Amino acid sequence: MKIRVESFASYRDYTRALPEDKSMEVPQGTSVAQVLAMLGVPEDAPRIVLVNGRARPSETVLAAGDHLVFFPPLEGG
CATH placement of domain 2-71 = 3.10.20.30
Instruction: Show me where the domains of the chain are located.
Output: 2-71
Q: What is the pTM of this model?
A: 0.93
Yes or no: say if 58 and 31 are a contact pair by the CB < 8 Å rule: yes
Q: What pLDDT shows up at residue 22? A: 97
The H-or-E segment that residue 50 falls in is strand 48-51
Q: What pLDDT shows up at residue 77? A: 62
Q: What pLDDT shows up at residue 75? A: 73
Tell me the per-residue pLDDT of 19-77, one tens digit each, with 9 for 90 and over.
Answer: 999 999 999 999 999 999 999 999 999 999 999 999 999 999 999 999 999 999 987 66
